[in-house]
Amino acid sequence: MNKKKLGYKELPAGDLLEAGTALDFETGSWRSDRPIHDEEKCINCLICWAYCPDSAIKVEDGKVKEIDLRYCKGCGICAQVCPPKIKAITMVEENKAEK
Amino acid sequence: MSKNIVAKTGNEAMAEAMRQINPDVVAAYPITPATEVVQLFSQFVADGNVKTDFVTVESEHSAMSATIGASAAGVRAMTVTSSQGLALMNEMLYIAAGLRLPIVMPEVNRALSSPINIHCDHSDTMGARDTGWIQIYSENSQEAYDNVLQTVRICEHAQVKIPGMVTTDGFIISHCMERMEMIADNEVKNFIGEYRPERYLLDIKKPYTLGSLDLQDYFFEHRMQLAQAMCNTGKIILEIGKEFGDKFGRKYGFYEKYHLDDAEIAILVMGSTAGTAKVVVDQLREKGIKAGLLKLRVFRPFPYRELAQELAHLKVLAVMDRADSIDSFGGPLFDEVRSAMYDLKDKPQTVNYIFGLGGREINLEMIEGVYTQMQDIAKTGEIPQRVNYLGVRE
């Protein structure tokens, strides 16, 4: 983001931002643990999609397509909420994960 | 204009103003002595006299939070409080101002603990003087009613968009019944108009983020906007005060002058004490003493230029504070009025009287005593004591 910073005369009044500015902020750089999604085990219940605080679970045609690592902070909530009998998401230390 | 003369307490007057404003949302927690405003208003809601969504909350912090939420969502939202309630709201007061939400809040002035006290002084709103809210003080029920109606217009004005509180003196005004004139419901409706915010959170066609993290890069600019908005507010207060006067016969400005222009000695005070001081001024004028009074109505924005001009000709000015800064010097009003006069070439001798804390009596004799001391200062040019505590036992 190399936008010019607005002065007080140009800024919208009060603490206002356009919607969707989180797109410009790639929180994936914060991650120390990476979620690994197993497509074969996954039953596509989409519980992980509902719980992900960063909307990083990408769904296409009702199926989990991928986990968007640009935004995934590695919080591990998706692995926690994945049904225990399924365990389709496992957390792996970032430095041990495949690049 | 149809004249409707009624007898109302300050609380009834402010509740009636709220009924006529008919806000979309009122969120409130009842606290003495503002309790009655909330109680009366909840009756209006129960009787179907207003279409307000009335939210009962568990604290004043929540009352202001819910009011902020409603206002940000795009509706006209109000709440009412007093004393400890205002103190508990403090965190949210800054947020309402920072988010530029035009919330109007009647407030009943009374002391803050400790020790526990339920009676009048101005320490509650003085503690909120740097929150970015407009502050308008009322002498009586009539002014409280008129001020609440005008403050809706002031706060919602496109060049203002900041919240405002209208105060009355606890018990002295809030519970005292007086003659006043009410404006007809439809005339109030026409005067305040419909609330149409430019942007609001429930406008799904123009989504935006409100109240986001605003660090070193932008916070200062947003605070500067608030400071500028407060600077713009003065002329809007005068415009609306004049419009109100033209329509309903009672004109309002930043202050009311009482025998001030040819006075040699004068008191500057806010709230109900001004009424008592007017009687003393009349008595002194009969004796040929050139006594005057300036009753300050608008404390935020602080009309420092106008005050300096109005007070410049005096020999002695006594600023009466119904609150103490506990700063080892003077009261908050004294500090600011004195600072406003600093750039004058010839300025009056200025003394401070802190009085009436916790509802302590302030009567004609005490105010006459202040004028007598000012006469002595005018004669001798000597100030025995710059800051005085009036009516405290030694």
pLDDT tens per residue across span A23-75: 888 999 999 999 999 999 999 999 999 999 999 999 999 999 999 999 999 99
Contacts of B227 (CB under 8 A, 6+ apart): none
Contact between chains at A14 and B228 (C-beta distance less than 8 A):
no
Q: Which residues of A touch B228 (CB under 8 A)?
A: 8
Contacts of B286 (CB under 8 A, 6+ apart): none
Contact between chains at A18 and B208 (C-beta distance less than 8 A):
yes
State the span(s) of chain B assigned CATH 3.40.50.970. 4-248
B187: three-class secondary structure by DSSP: helix
Distance in angstroms (rounded) separating the CA atoms of residues B166 and B344: 31
Q: Which residues of A touch B100 (CB under 8 A)?
A: 13-14
State the span(s) of chain B assigned CATH 3.40.50.920. 255-390
Q: Per-residue confidence at A19, pLDDT binned at 50, 70, 90?
A: confident
In degrees rounded to 5, what are phi and psi of residue B58? -95, -5
Per-residue DSSP letter, B352: E
pLDDT given at position A24: 87
Query: Using CB atoms, which residue from B208, B217, B224 is nearest to A16?
Result: B208
pLDDT by position in tens, chain B (length 394): 568 999 999 999 999 999 999 999 999 998 887 889 999 999 999 999 999 999 999 999 999 999 999 999 999 999 999 999 999 999 999 999 999 999 999 999 999 999 999 999 999 999 999 999 999 999 999 999 999 999 999 999 999 999 999 999 999 999 999 999 999 999 999 999 999 998 999 999 999 999 988 899 999 999 999 999 999 999 999 999 999 999 999 999 999 999 999 999 999 999 999 999 999 999 999 999 999 999 999 999 999 999 999 999 999 999 999 999 999 999 999 999 999 999 999 999 999 999 999 999 999 999 999 999 999 999 999 999 999 999 999 9
Distance in angstroms (rounded) separating the CA atoms of residues B107 and B37: 10
Report chain A's terminal Cα–Cα distance, integer Å.
Answer: 26
Quote the distance between the C-alpha of residue B209 and its chain's center.
Answer: 32
Domain A27-94 classified CATH 3.30.70.20?
yes
Domain B4-248 classification at class level: alpha beta
As a CATH number, domain B255-390 is: 3.40.50.920
Contact between chains at A8 and B225 (C-beta distance less than 8 A):
yes
In degrees rounded to 5, what are phi and psi of residue B281? -60, -45
Contact between chains at A18 and B209 (C-beta distance less than 8 A):
yes
Distance from CA of B205 to the nearest CA of A (A): 11
Which helix (H) or strand (E) segment holds residue B279: the answer is helix B273-286
User: Buried b vs exposed e over B32-52: b needs ≥16 C-beta within 10 Å?
Assistant: bbbbbbbebbbebeeeeebeb
Contact between chains at A16 and B209 (C-beta distance less than 8 A):
yes
Distance in angstroms (rounded) separating the CA atoms of residues B185 and B182: 9
Quote the distance between the C-alpha of residue B99 and its chain's center.
Answer: 21
Distance in angstroms (rounded) separating the CA atoms of residues B273 and B291: 16
Distance in angstroms (rounded) separating the CA atoms of residues B81 and B89: 9
pLDDT given at position A12: 87
Distance from CA of B376 to the nearest CA of A (A): 51
Question: Side chain identity at B300, as an amino acid letter?
Answer: R
Q: Which residues of A touch B101 (CB under 8 A)?
A: 14
Per-residue DSSP letter, A4: P
Query: Using CB atoms, which residue from A7, A8, A17 is nearest to B208?
Result: A17
Distance from CA of A16 to the nearest CA of B (A): 5
